[in-house]
């Protein structure tokens, strides 16, 4: 039976941090602020995958109050989400993610992101979709104060 989960994440942009999205370091004057590497795309995907199995969200598995996750690569979170699916006898069918960023342009890095995400989840890159859009200069994204990401995951689980 196919189960669907959705995820959303947002982090503020600040000076002095690397910008990491989809496991790719993207050249930019600012990076995302957060306890881990603040990879909003991987965090949204993690929540979407965990949602397919009704397992809560990334914060329940990797709380930002736990020093073990300080600066951690978000790949670890995706690997654990995939492990949770597998432990329930499930199989990730596909992932679809959207980045919302006024700047920098992230689509040129989409293929590398797909490979990183697919590798972490143990699925082929052809099962990962990555899209990007701006916020047309509206709101915190439009003012380049932060970056947001949305994701949908589908998982085949036994009945």
pLDDT of residue 51: 97
Contact (Cβ atoms closer than 8 angstroms) between residue 10 and residue 146: yes
Residues 6+ apart with CB under 8 A from 76: 62
Q: What is the mean pLDDT of each run of 10 residues along the chain (159 residues)?
A: 98 97 97 95 98 92 81 93 96 98 96 98 98 96 98 95
pLDDT of residue 67: 77
- Alpha helix (H) residue ranges in the chain: 40-52, 58-61, 75-87, 110-121, 139-142
pLDDT of residue 66: 82
pLDDT of residue 63: 79
Q: At the top level of CATH, which class does the domain 2-156 belong to?
A: alpha beta
Rounded to two decimals, the pTM is 0.96
């Amino acid at each position: 039976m196919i189960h669907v989960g959705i995820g959303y994440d947002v982090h503020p942009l600040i000076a002095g941090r690397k910008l990491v999205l989809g496991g790719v370091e993207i050249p930019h004057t600012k990076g995302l602020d957060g306890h881990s590497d603040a990879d909003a795309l991987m965090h949204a995907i993690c929540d979407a995958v965990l949602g397919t199995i009704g397992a809560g969200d990334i914060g329940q598995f990797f709380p930002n109050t736990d020093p073990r996750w300080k600066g951690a690569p978000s790949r670890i979170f995706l690997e654990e989400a995939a492990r949770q699916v597998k432990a329930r006898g499930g199989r990730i069918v596909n992932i679809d993610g959207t980045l919302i960023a006024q700047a920098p342009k992230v689509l040129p890095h989409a293929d590398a992101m797909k490979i990183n995400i697919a590798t972490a989840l143990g699925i082929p890159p052809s099962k990962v979709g990555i899209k990007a859009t701006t916020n047309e200069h509206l709101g915190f994204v439009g003012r380049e104060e932060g970056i947001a990401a949305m994701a949908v995951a589908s998982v085949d689980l036994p009945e």
